[in-house]
Amino acid sequence: MVADTPDVSTARTTQLGLTILAALLSIGAYVLVTLGTTGKTPPGVGGFVAAVATTYLLAHLVVVRFAPGADPIFLPGAAVLAGLGYAVIYGINPDLAATQFGWLMLGLVLFALTLILIRDHRSLDAYTYTIGLAGIILLLLPIAPGLGRTINGARLWIRLGPLNFQPAEVGKVLIVIFLASYLGARKELLALATRRIGPFRFPEPKYFGPLLVAWGLSLAILFLEKDLGSSLLFFGIFVVMLWTATARATYLALGMVMFVAGALIGYAAFGHVQSRVEVWLHALDPKLVQDEGFQLAQSEFALATGGLSGTGLGKGHPELISPGPGHEFAATDFIFAVVGEELGLFGSSAVLLLYVLLVGRGFRTAMRREDAFGKLLAAGLSTALAFQTFIIVGGVTRLIPLTGITLPFVSYGGSSLVANFVLLALLVRVSSAEGPRHAPRRVGR
């Protein structure tokens, strides 16, 4: 344990106050959605209040006990997003919300277990290749015969009994841990710039190997799983972490070129990628509105309907975005459009600012760490959160082509919610004041 210094005491008090506020906002959003959809106070509101208040308070106590001095924003910020997501999903489909609530409880349990079991983030640095291999297996697991399932043209899911699971959600966390360890050990070699081409200096060509491997793996995800979103997310995380480790803009520029090349290959090879680009460019074309572009067009109409202040929680029409049984697409890929309709520009901007706050605090944590592994781990986890948010929000608002990635903590989906709470726990661990900030001697792998 770390002594109760003024900084630790202040962080503890701040987190407690914000966690209570997050619980109140979550409960308030649920009640407002129920009033908006049924006109009555939910009959089981007492049990909901007790469950939310108890689990959030216990999560707070775990942070206080096992990660003293941790950044006080992470847990309350994620709690607000998860509470809002549950409320919006309840307004879309109460059955989906019941499942989501169970996943939320499991996510908070795994959040606590991660902090209890991993007392020092640097202990993960001893398992570089084991973690990396596990991450790659999870990323490619959906292509295994008999396990993988293809939904909406992308092979992202595996079935485990009655459950459908997206292993890439856990895989992204393991890949970030692996990259933090690998790049932290080799950053000096990768940063060497001994070749000159005109006014520019470049590292030795052999050091571009990791970049080529990451590019190849992202193309494998694109070609074998037909998943443009995960391919973009994984490669973007790697390039940013490589740039963070070496401070070489060469890697950043080359990564952008390779991404464009990979995107062009994917566009030329897959009809569903071409279809998504066509919908992105011409979503409101009368020919597309009645077919492939229907949901994207409806999401734009929903955002426009919300105006500045929104229609109110529970007062939107998510069934117009996803008219099929259960309205699942409104709760997953297009949930930001539902938020925009019901909370308006002000509310949706507040949600985005909350993501900016979480990501900003993550990078602040990275800057404060003196050990290379902790610095890269916090930067990589924050980049994953930022990229995932940008990809889904950019797709719904037609800034980029729409992909099948979920909005962290908000969208319906157990694998995403659980994986992001584990990601959050690792950020909390790195930001904790527990243990010295200087890097220990590296152990064997």
- Does 442 fall in a domain? no
Nearest-angstrom CA–CA distance, 287 and 221: 31
> Do 6 and 13 form a contact (C-beta atoms < 8 A)?
no
Nearest-angstrom CA–CA distance, 19 and 1: 22
Sign of CA dihedral 27, 90, 352, 154: positive
Encode 291-323: b = buried (16+ Cβ within 10 Å), e = exposed.
ebbbbbbbbbbbbebbeeebbbbbebebebbbe
Among 107, 88, 64, smallest CA distance to 318 is for 88
DSSP character at residue 30? H
Residue-level pLDDT at 445: 45
Q: Tokens 């800034």, residue?
A: 399
- Does 367 fall in a domain? yes
- Per residue in 266-308, pLDDT (tens digit) is 788 777 778 888 888 888 888 778 777 888 889 999 999 999 9
- Does 436 fall in a domain? no
| Amino acid in position 324 | G
Q: Where are the beta strands (DSSP E) in 166-312?
A: 195-197, 200-202
- Does 374 fall in a domain? yes
Domain that holds residue 183: 6-431
**Residues β-bridged to residue 202:** 195
Supply the DSSP string of 112-160, one letter for each residue.
Answer: HHHHHH-S-GGGGGGGHHHHHHHHHHHHHGGGSTTTEEEETTEEEEEEE
Q: Give the length of the chain.
A: 445
DSSP character at residue 434? -
- Does 438 fall in a domain? no
Residue-level pLDDT at 165: 77
Q: Into how many domains does the chain fold? A: 1
What SS3 state is found at 190?
helix
Helix (H) / strand (E) containing 208? none
- Does 45 fall in a domain? yes
- Does 1 fall in a domain? no
Nearest-angstrom CA–CA distance, 242 and 187: 8
- Per residue in 38-57, pLDDT (tens digit) is 777 777 788 888 999 999 99
> Whole-model pTM?
0.89
| Amino acid in position 291 | D
- Does 286 fall in a domain? yes
Encode 31-66: b = buried (16+ Cβ within 10 Å), e = exposed.
bbbbbbbeeeebeeeeebbeebbebbeebbebbbeb
Residue ranges of the chain with per-residue pLDDT less than 70: 1-6, 146, 148-157, 160-163, 193-211, 215, 222-227, 324-326, 433-445
